[in-house]
Amino acid sequence: MFYIDSGSVKTVKTLMEAYAFKGVTTNPSLMAKERRTDYLHHVKELLDVIHQAPLFIQLNGETTERMVNEAYYIAKYSDISRIIFKVPATKAGFHAMKILKNRFTLAATGVVSLAQALMAYEAGAKYVIIYVNRMLSNGLNPYGLIESLGDLKTFKDYDYLLIGASFKSEEEIVKSLKHGLDGVTIPPRLAERFFLNPVTEKSVKAFQKDFSDRYQVPSFKDES
């Protein structure tokens, strides 16, 4: 259900070890932010630290031909069984999906309308990635879109997975999940605030103190 939205190998490694994230999503901006010069090596390092989990990477070509060529180039040098290609919901992107669908697992990204989502599905996308905050910033209703696409899955047997992205707050994540997403991709700056709560931390510290005071040890360990 939960994915890390980052291109940082160090950050991804730390969060994957601490939490039960399902995989990692990236985009061209997140990858470029790391200031690496070897893109394929960067991809390999991300694959290495997430072990058997999937990695979503976005095709960046401006034309259909460039997207298709990029996909095959990356596949030639990477573990393609664990890579899901994010393809933008544009005219060139829909065309690329039709060409690539029988060879790769695809995710339509940048989706902000019902029509885009359905065309992406018809073109071969297994995942539909909805830009929640960007929709809100442009006066659009992401929650209504999520509900509509969820209804189609339920009543029309549409076989896609709905992933929410572009989050700026925990409230947006929670509300999106309540409206029916299959998963969300969370930026690292929100991850710890989202999963941790001071009420829980305070309760656990009280339990630990009571235990230590009574048994004079912080915890038990097997010394056999």
Which residues have a catalytic role annotated?
A: 86
* 45 CB-near residues (< 8 Å, 6+ apart): 9
Query: 131 to each of 66, 109, 143, 167, how far by Cα in Å?
Result: 24, 8, 11, 8
105 forms bridges with which residues in the sheet?
84
Q: How far apart (Å, rounded) are the C-alpha atoms in residues 28 and 170?
A: 24
Q: How far apart (Å, rounded) are the C-alpha atoms in residues 50 and 55?
A: 8
Q: How far apart (Å, rounded) are the C-alpha atoms in residues 196 and 211?
A: 22
Compute φ and ψ for 105, nearest 5 degrees: -85, 130
Structure tokens at 44: 């390999």
Exposure string of 46-83, with b = 16+ CB inside 10 Å and e = fewer, is bbebbeebbbbbbbbbeebeebbebbeebbeebebebb
Q: How far apart (Å, rounded) are the C-alpha atoms in residues 171 and 55?
A: 26
Give the three-class secondary structure for 212.
Answer: helix
